[in-house]
Structures are given as structure tokens and as C-alpha cells.
Structure 1
């Protein structure tokens, strides 16, 4: 496994974690942290998509 693939997996896991955290906090109906949840959700989405794209591009042949 190359360093590029390890970094891609790390990005993907961080993205999934951010998206799950955002979803759990939204289900708690706490409207006080709307801006924080927006930022965490967007960063989670960016990390997840970047990790997936990096995994697809670094596939061993």
C-alpha cells in the first residue's frame, strides 16, 4: 500500500466521521450550533469526496 492510498483512506474516514457527526447533531434538534454544523458538514463532504477520488486515481493495476 502506498502513502497516497493511506492518505486517501485517512481522508475518506475523516469525511465519513464528519458527516456522521453532523447527522447525529442535526437529529438532536439543537439549533444553536447551526454554523458549526454547516462548516463540519461541508468539510466532511469535501474530505469524503477527495478521499474517494484519490483512491480511484491511485488504484494499483
Structure 2
């Protein structure tokens, strides 16, 4: 169960990182902050990715 949750967090993190990088390259959302607002999904994706990897690494297989 925990490994599945870790894998889901990792996948969501990868999507968030890609989305944030793409938004940054395209100039952000066009609002007041521009490119800086694109860093929010990147940061959230980075947090999800690192926590998902950490969760997968710390859970031991029960065989």
C-alpha cells in the first residue's frame, strides 16, 4: 500500500516538474508575476517527487 502511494506521489511529482518547466519556458501564466508563477507547480512537483522517492526507498519488500 505504501509503495503504491509512493509510486503515485513520484508520478505526480514528475508531472508537476514537467508542467512547471514547460510553463516557465512558455512565459508563465501571463499574470503579474509572469514566469515566477510557473515555479509553484515546479516546487510542488519537486516536493511530491522527493517524498515519493523517499517513501519507496524506505519501505522494505515483504516476500
Give the number of equivalent residue pairs.
59
* Structure 1: 5+ residue stretches without partners: none
Question: Would you tell me which structure has more helix in proportion to its own residues?
Answer: 1
**Structure 2 CA distance for aligned equivalents of residues 15 and 31 of structure 1:** 20
Give me the TM-score of the superposition, normalised by structure 2: 0.78
User: Pairwise CA RMSD of aligned residues?
Assistant: 1.8
In 1, Cα distance between equivalents of 2:28 and 2:37 = 11
Which one has the largest radius of gyration?
2
1:31 positional shift: 6.3
Runs of 4 or more off by more than 3 Å in structure 1? 33-36
Query: Following the alignment from structure 1 to structure 2, what is the Cα–Cα distance between the partners of residues 44 and 11?
Result: 9
Q: Is 1:34–2:35 an aligned residue pair?
A: yes
Q: Report the TM-score, using the length of structure 1 for normalisation.
A: 0.81
- 1:42 to 1:50, Cα distance in 2 relative to 1, 3 A: same
Segment of structure 1 superposing worse, 15-24 or 30-39? 30-39
- 5+ long unaligned stretches in structure 2: none
